[in-house]
Copies of this chain bind each other. A is one copy, B any other.
Amino acid sequence: MTVHGGLLKVATAGDGEVVDLTDGIAAVVRQSGVQTGVAVVFAPGATTGVTTIEFEPGAVADLCSLLDRLIPADAGVEHNALNGDTNGHAHLRAALVGPSESIPVVGGRLVLGTWQQIVLVDFDDRAREREIVVQILA
Selected from B42, B44, B101, the residue in CB contact (under 8 A) with A99 is B101
**How many chain A residues touch B (Cβ–Cβ < 8 Å)?**
60
Known interface pairs A100-B102, A101-B98; A77-B62 also in contact (CB < 8 Å): yes
Report if A21 contacts B (CB, 8 A): no
Q: Which of A59, A81, A97 has the most CB of B within 10 A?
A: A59
Report if A26 contacts B (CB, 8 A): no
A52, B51: Cα distance in complex, Å: 14
Shortest CB distance A118–B (Å): 9
Known interface pairs A1-B137, A51-B98, A96-B96; A91-B75 also in contact (CB < 8 Å): no
Verify A58–B88 contact, CB threshold 8 A: yes
- Considering the complex, give the chain B residue whose CB is closest to the CB of A115: B46
Report if A71 contacts B (CB, 8 A): yes
A99, B104: Cα distance in complex, Å: 11
Report if A73 contacts B (CB, 8 A): no
Report if A138 contacts B (CB, 8 A): yes
